[in-house]
Amino acid sequence: MSEKLELVKPRCVPPLDESFRPAVLANRAFQRKVEEAGGGVPLIFALQRPSGCISRYETRVLPEDHPDAGMNLTYAERLFKFLLWQKGGVRIYVGGPKSVGEYIKKTYAPGGAREFDYRFMGEEVYLEDFEVYVCAPEEVPPEREKTRPLGKHLEGCRIGFDLGASDVKVSAVIDGEVIYSEEIVWEPTDKDDPEYHYRIIVNALKKAASKLPRLEAIGGSAAGVYVDNTVRVASLFRGIPRERYDEVRNLFLRIRDEFGVPLEIVNDGEVTALAGAMALDDTRVLGIALGSSEAGGYVNEKGYITDWLNELAFAPIDYSPDAAVDEWSGDKGCGSVYLSQQCVFRHAPRVGIEIPDDLTKAAKLRFVQKKLEDGDEGALKIWKTMGYYLGYAIAHYADFYDIKHVLVLGRCTSGEGGRILLDCVDEVLKAEFPELASKIKVHLPTERMRRVGQAIAAASLPELGGKKDEVSDEEC
């Protein structure tokens, strides 16, 4: 009995990746097989977080006595992997065929293929044991979600900052008008002294503060998971020894106390979505930042964010057996190496572009971007490849989010690259997903907003006086 899904060759083949097999096409092909088999049987996932909130996802799979029932395992595991990094959770319910539930339980466990995900969610993000419960569909608990308003406070004198793996972006804002913005290069991921991070961030904030008549609030965004302004886990601090991690965990509380003003920091993907919602004056916005990694965030139909993770960097978009491997999780096909500068660095040698080793990551990206601006055919193929990846990824995301707008930000969108990316996305959606092409609008902000938009939006996070945005939790 084969466990391999039917992998579908895309109509728009990335120039540098002929083996790319989009997740969205494989999932749709599997669902067609389920329909042909009489509609299949239900499979329901519920992901519960320590807050008590529960996210549910319902689908259908082949009956266990079907000749191709082994496909259920691959389909369900890849689907669950996406849900886990989209929604987050430590108490997992799998309601459906017992073979599927037992496979998920075995895979997301010590010694399993997804031990990284098991430990990351339990030990790093939620600080609770990660557990999988195998049950019947009717035993899966009901959905209970929580949302809250986010930011959009622009009155007063504020600082916004965005921490990336290549630079710190910082802005000074007075009553919604940006009076100063700067990008400060740093190399945080390989530094083992928390004081390095503290010093760079504080110096950037002090420089921005010097442009203001007074400082009333600070808002920030960064890759990773943040709870009540504390760092749970973040790639920026990957080099910090475990025995010193407490110094990082309370880093932003220390900065808040030093400056003596309200401070809020959230995941950079959420601020990307916020930047989109503010610029478009609309809702149902998925923000995707193509920077040192991929960041995602979502503003729902009410204009609120949820307590989901939206860590799309770890969500698989390529099901090819030859898919690129994420160096941190060890998994294949994840967005981090397809929709980021990692994609640029991965493909550069294939087109004969030799990047000097002595450059910072930001400078390496600029090096290849300069080739693109100069008309280098190899660089053009890199951005077209990333653009096709992005098009199929957006179609995949649309199976999990209610999307009206997609805002694409990040260093990889600067200059000519941004236009190429959008042209490729438009080509993919029109060729493969015409129903989405007419429904979803994909946007690039202005060049200035592309580069510092997250820092500007981040400035709007705190309310003056330190009062938190009201949480809407009728269902939790």
In the numeric block, the tokens 């002595």 are attached to 358
Q: Which of 239, 228, 223, 234 is nearest to 291 (CA)?
A: 223
| CA dist., res. 209 & res. 306, Å (int) | 31
Q: What are the beta bridge partners of residue 56?
A: 46
| CA dist., res. 42 & res. 97, Å (int) | 8
Q: Which fold does the domain 271-457 belong to in CATH?
A: Nucleotidyltransferase; domain 5 (3.30.420)
**What letter would DSSP give residue 44?**
E
Name the residue type at position 392: Y
Tell me what pLDDT residue 151 has: 78
CA distances from 89 to 8, 267, 379 (A): 31, 17, 39
Q: Which of 107, 109, 127 is nearest to 118 (CA)?
A: 109
- Nearest-Å Rg of the Cα atoms of the chain is 22
CATH 3.40.50.300 fits 158-266, yes or no: no
| CA dist., res. 476 & res. 474, Å (int) | 6
> What DSSP letter does each residue of 185-234 carry, written as one string?
E---TT---HHHHHHHHHHHHHHHHTTSSS--EEEEEESSEEETTEEEE-
CA neighbours closer than 13 Å in the CB half-sphere of residue 91: 10
| CA dist., res. 311 & res. 229, Å (int) | 18
| CA dist., res. 140 & res. 96, Å (int) | 9
Tell me what pLDDT residue 470 has: 46
| CA dist., res. 290 & res. 287, Å (int) | 10
**What letter would DSSP give residue 335?**
G
Residue 434, classified by CB atoms within 10 Å of its CB into exposed (0-12), middle (13-18) or buried (19+), is exposed
| CA dist., res. 88 & res. 121, Å (int) | 7
Q: Which of 59, 130, 134 is nearest to 103 (CA)?
A: 134
The low-confidence residues of the chain, meaning pLDDT below 70, are 1-2, 150, 447-454, 466-476
| Residue length of the chain | 476
Q: Which of 308, 326, 338, 309 is nearest to 23 (CA)?
A: 338
CB 382, CB 344: distance < 8 Å: yes
Sign of the CA dihedral with 428 first, then 430, 436, and 438 last = positive
| CA dist., res. 197 & res. 193, Å (int) | 8
Location of each CATH 3.30.420.40 domain in the chain: 158-266, 271-457
Phi-psi region of 224 (alpha: psi -120 to 50; beta: other; left: phi over 0): left
Name the residue type at position 455: A
CA of residue 453 relative to chain centroid, distance: 16
Tell me what pLDDT residue 474 has: 47
CA distances from 390 to 24, 106, 207, 412 (A): 12, 32, 36, 12
CB 475, CB 146: distance < 8 Å: yes
CB 365, CB 166: distance < 8 Å: yes
